[in-house]
Structure 1
Amino acid sequence: MLAGRYWLVLWYASIPLRKHAPSLSSSAWTVSGVLLNMMGQGMTLSYPSSLLPGLKDPSSTIKVDLETASWLASSVGLSSMLGFFISSFLMEWYGRRLAHALVILPGASGWAIIYFSQDVTTLMIGRILGGITAGATVTLGAVVIGEFTSPEHRGMFLNMKTAAVCLGNTVMHILGHYFDWRTVALFAVLPHVLAFGIVCTWPESPAWLASKKKYDESEKAFIWLRGSSEESKQEHNQLVNSQRDHLTNDKKTFAQNMVVFFKKFGRKDFVKPVIIIFFGAVLLEACGRHTFPAYASVIISEISGSKEQSFLYTLSLDFIITASALFSSVLVKVMKRRTLLFSTGIAAIAVLFGVCGYQFLVVKSFIPREYTWIPLTLLVLYFILANLGCTPIPFTFLGEMFPLAHRGAGVSVSGITMALNLMIALKVTPYLMESIKFHGTFAVFGGTMAAALLALYFILPETKDRTLQEIEDYLNYGKFKDKKDEEEEVKLKMIS
């Protein structure tokens, strides 16, 4: 039922668009392929909530200790780094469509390997393959949405990636409660299979075609995706003109390409997006986006003191988190990115410290444990606030911040950053939970969130309703160009 409601929201979100652009349904169709992959990513990341309890069961034929369990959970973070690298090269060499289709294959194979596994090594291989797809699709998905959708609706679609991940978490927790971990692995293949079928129907990215000097094909793909309105034609003309200014006829050797790559670290329009995405990745992991689904049953059991009721509490939180992520996709259309991020982020940190403080008093026996509804209600409020801004908006950075000339290299460098943050978060969380319990663990996360938000406050531009070309100009010149600037630039070119 939840999955049906999610796709219903996606369909209704496209209705206003169809009034203004007949091809909006085409954009929504391409985005649905990305969202199915994001749902698969959510299932991959939250799979430890089903796998680890099954392996720790006395009747399990595969035995694990705490160290092995932590590696099974965090291995997807390490292998996602490889996924980021693979996707960055594939998307530059073969285009967005073929790259997206190819990177789905490791994830689908990984679930099959997990189903047939008989030892920890085979399980680890399956998890590693799943991590490759998880890492590759998160960056490719952001790039596809950024290049395939219009500026006024790009933020909404990018935010829906987070809602799709939340939906995957919810589905995984439901399946893990009613089925064993092997059967769950079979169900988890379905989102990847459906996504693969949709990706095969996509056109190629207009931006990638333009970067390869295929301007006629780029125009046809742009019209298929965005319609033939005057506004769309103007945006495509800006894209083509920008590429003609940047491209040369020189073919570079591998050594020359490596020199060009390292020179990017001296360019402001490359370094600044990397820094923004770094702090966005820190914020994303610190708010518990990936750690909570993976260890949800442990966290809820500690707060409630009841393992029997932890499933109901976890499922309720999943529904609320998914609903808030969907609502964020609406808010991002009416609110500025910065306003939404910092207002909800500051409120979320305040609530989180309230939860940690209350749980600390419970552990120290200053407050009786039976009032579990208080910390659980605060935790619900925290995740609502976090999923309105801190969780979805960092994902939009990947689709908006990098200029086309740096997009492949930027995805690689950002991928390392995001993968390391994910691996560290998943790796250290079980140890933190063991040593300083829930209240200490999330107090550390809350302090990290505050530091990341403070850094983003000073470096993050407002990108709402801005085209990718306008954002690129901002990163180069420190301001968004207005019509007067563009007219002056045209005059200078004519004089020269």
Structure 2
Amino acid sequence: MVSPVAKQTWAISAVLINMMAQGLMLSYPSSLLPGIRAPDSDIKVDLNTASWLGSVVGLSSIPGFFISSILMDWRGRKMAQAIVIIPGILGWLFIYLGASVTSLIIGRLLTGFTGGASVCLGAVIVGEYSSPKNRGTYLNLKTASVCVGGMMIHILGNFFHWRTVALLSLFPYIISLAIIYTWPESPAWLVSRKEFEKSKKAFYWLRGHSEEAEKELYELIRAQKNKPADIKNSNFKEKFIEFLKKFTRKDFVKPVVIIMFSRLLLETCGRHIFPAYALQIIGEVTGNKSQSFYYTLALDIIITTSATFSSVLVKICKRRTLLFVSGFSALFILFSVCTYLYLASKAIISNNYTWIPISLFVLYFILANLGCTPIPLALLGEVLPLAHRGSGSAVAGIVMSLTMMVALQITPYLLESVKVYGTFAVFGSAMGLTLVVFYFILPETKDRTLQEIEDYFNYGRFKNEENLREEEEDVKMKMII
């Protein structure tokens, strides 16, 4: 008999492999750009074109977020996840076969579309397919998977041509598609469609029949029974008006604001800019670009290990505690390394001790990947109420796309003008501001069911357990699960 945890892990492994593919996509500029800017490259690009090849994925991820949000509400989580993978496969083929800058840009646009579509959709799937006790671990493993993908690109890019790297990047998508075929549909989505019997069957397949699982299923169905079914036959105008009305509802606005700040924190802590420009950053810090690969690989291993360790910590520590302790500690280390690099650049202190900034960067990325990276990515799978997961994901996607595109676009210019210390000082300042805002608006979600979190945004507090039991007994007299 296969345990519920094993079934959850099997289903969610498709999302984790897909997130590893996103790590390949995000870090691919570290392989692509040096290759096409080399003197013997058959495709010639200038700095401006190179920056666009690195950042254009942020632009194409905007329609990815929109399409995935529509698909997840219209066709369900399973079908949506399968569909959005197809452009990514085509994108890597465009890059592998491309003979011009246009082909490369099309390929990056398509892979960026899949990357954007997978972020929100993957978080929603993990949140709905996993139990509350395991949800935090699975959501944090999404971050570790992205880190694994980034590390793989840096290794492959050192030994293989950028075209070969693009071809190898196809395989995670193919494996993910094969696993998705074995999934049941999301119980939460089936409940939202009033398909209660199908929902029970899928829920029991994923969670088993434990007392906690039965209680969670009861609360899920109870909360949705009195709500109107999704609008299926309304026209575009009616749907658009309904979407705009969501901005007057606190259970939509509050989670979206939290997600918007989580996206800002994710970008400003260097989650995407470092993998994309790792070789250039490390080369400037060490002053020895021939050794950049080995420094980068060491950092990749450390970052991936810390992101994986975060998946263990999240079962022990509260989300807020982990975020603020690791976040403010990381911020202190970041400003310390920026100060050191600035003083070294002005010859106030010796620049011969490259192990000092490298060690500080290692410590920074360890701390940042314990909280500032995984928790913002996890929040998307936790804070959005069931009725708003599609539309909320679309709004969050726009914010993430714009922040990622801006960060990736300005980073090459910041590195050229204000060097590494100035670049990270700019991002660090925004990171600190975001952490302060989070201190006041972020609820604690550890071990809470998605329905409990949804109730929090409706009522402003988590329901008292004693009152919940009394309400449950009262309702059980009127309805049978």
Q: TM-score, normalised by structure 2?
A: 0.97
Alignment match of 1:166 (pick from 147, 151, 176): 147
1:375 corresponds to: 357
CA shift in 2, pair 1:302/1:492, >3 Å: same
- What SS class does the counterpart of residue 400 from structure 1 fall into? coil
- What SS class does the counterpart of residue 481 from structure 1 fall into? coil
Distance of 2:290 and 2:231 partners within structure 1:
66
Counterpart residue identity of residue 188, structure 1: S
Identity between Structure 1 and Structure 2 (%): 58
Counterpart residue identity of residue 114, structure 2: T
Kindly provide the CA deviation profile for residues 143-167 of structure 1, in whole angstroms up to 9, marking residues without a partner as x.
0100000001100100000000000
Distance of 1:422 and 1:213 partners within structure 2:
37
Distance of 1:306 and 1:432 partners within structure 2:
20
Whether 1:331 aligns to 2:313 is: yes
By how many angstroms is 1:250 displaced? Answer: 7.1
1:421 corresponds to: 403
CA shift in 2, pair 1:251/1:324, >3 Å: closer
By how many angstroms is 1:256 displaced? Answer: 2.3
1:74 corresponds to: 55
1:111 corresponds to: 92
Kindly provide the CA deviation profile for residues 280-331 of structure 1, in whole angstroms up to 9, marking residues without a partner as x.
1111000100000000000000000001111000000000000000000000
Distance of 2:360 and 2:347 partners within structure 1:
19
By how many angstroms is 1:376 displaced? Answer: 0.2
Counterpart residue identity of residue 195, structure 1: S
CA shift in 2, pair 1:490/1:234, >3 Å: closer
Distance of 2:23 and 2:181 partners within structure 1:
22
1:10 corresponds to: none
Kindly provide the CA deviation profile for residues 180-232 of structure 1, in whole angstroms up to 9, marking residues without a partner as x.
10000011111111111111111100000111111111001001101111211
Distance of 1:248 and 1:311 partners within structure 2:
54
Whether 1:452 aligns to 2:454 is: no
2:195 corresponds to: 214
Is the CA contact 1:24–1:227 (under 8 Å) kept in the aligned structure 2? Answer: no
Alignment match of 1:435 (pick from 397, 417, 421): 417
Distance of 1:34 and 1:192 partners within structure 2:
10
Superposition RMSD in Å:
1.5
Whether 1:365 aligns to 2:315 is: no
Count of equivalent residues: 476
1:404 corresponds to: 386
Distance of 2:229 and 2:155 partners within structure 1:
54
Is the CA contact 1:325–1:388 (under 8 Å) kept in the aligned structure 2? Answer: yes
Counterpart residue identity of residue 69, structure 1: A
Matches within 5 A, 1:17-416: 22-248=3-229, 253-254=234-235, 255-416=237-398
Distance of 1:453 and 1:112 partners within structure 2:
40
Give 4+ residue runs of structure 1 displaced > 3 Å after superposition: 248-252, 487-495
Distance of 1:113 and 1:102 partners within structure 2:
18
- What SS class does the counterpart of residue 118 from structure 1 fall into? coil
Distance of 2:455 and 2:171 partners within structure 1:
41
2:465 corresponds to: 483
Distance of 1:279 and 1:420 partners within structure 2:
13
Is the CA contact 1:83–1:134 (under 8 Å) kept in the aligned structure 2? Answer: yes
By how many angstroms is 1:247 displaced? Answer: 2.1
- Segments of 5+ residues of structure 1 without an aligned counterpart are 1-17
- Segments of 5+ residues of structure 2 without an aligned counterpart are none
Distance of 1:294 and 1:471 partners within structure 2:
35
By how many angstroms is 1:22 displaced? Answer: 2.3
- What SS class does the counterpart of residue 289 from structure 2 fall into? coil
